[in-house]
Amino acid sequence: MQLHMGEGKSSVIIPILCVSLADREKLVRVIVPMPLSKEMLNYLARLSGLINRKIFYLPFSRTTRITVDSLRQIR
């Protein structure tokens, strides 16, 4: 089955998968293209209120320079 644009991949399927995969022992990481990041953050932020879980937003790209100090700060 193929889902085309506007058929609920971001707004329905991803949040359902996050809820079903996340528990107290597993972290779910959602990786999306930059143009979709704000929309996805809004969907997941609404979901976090329903399930009482925190959402952490960490923008990252290939041009991001990683140092030991930045890794400590992220951790």
The tens-digit pLDDT sequence of the chain (75 residues) is 677 777 777 888 888 888 888 777 877 888 888 888 888 888 888 888 877 778 888 887 888 888 999 889 888
pTM above 0.85, yes or no: no
Q: What is the rounded (10 degree) CA torsion for 75, 20, 47, 15?
A: 100
Could you give the percent of the chain with pLDDT greater than 90? Answer: 4
Phi, psi at 6, each rounded to 5°: 85, 15
Q: What is the DSSP letter of 65?
A: P
Q: Which residues of 37-61 are buried (b: 16+ CB within 10 A; e: fewer)?
A: eeebeebbeebeeeeeeeeeeeeee
Q: Does some domain include residue 33?
A: yes
Helix, strand, coil percentages for the chain (3-state, nearest 5): 50, 0, 50
**Domain range holding 24?**
9-74
1 part of a folded domain: no
Question: What's the number of domains the chain is made of?
Answer: 1
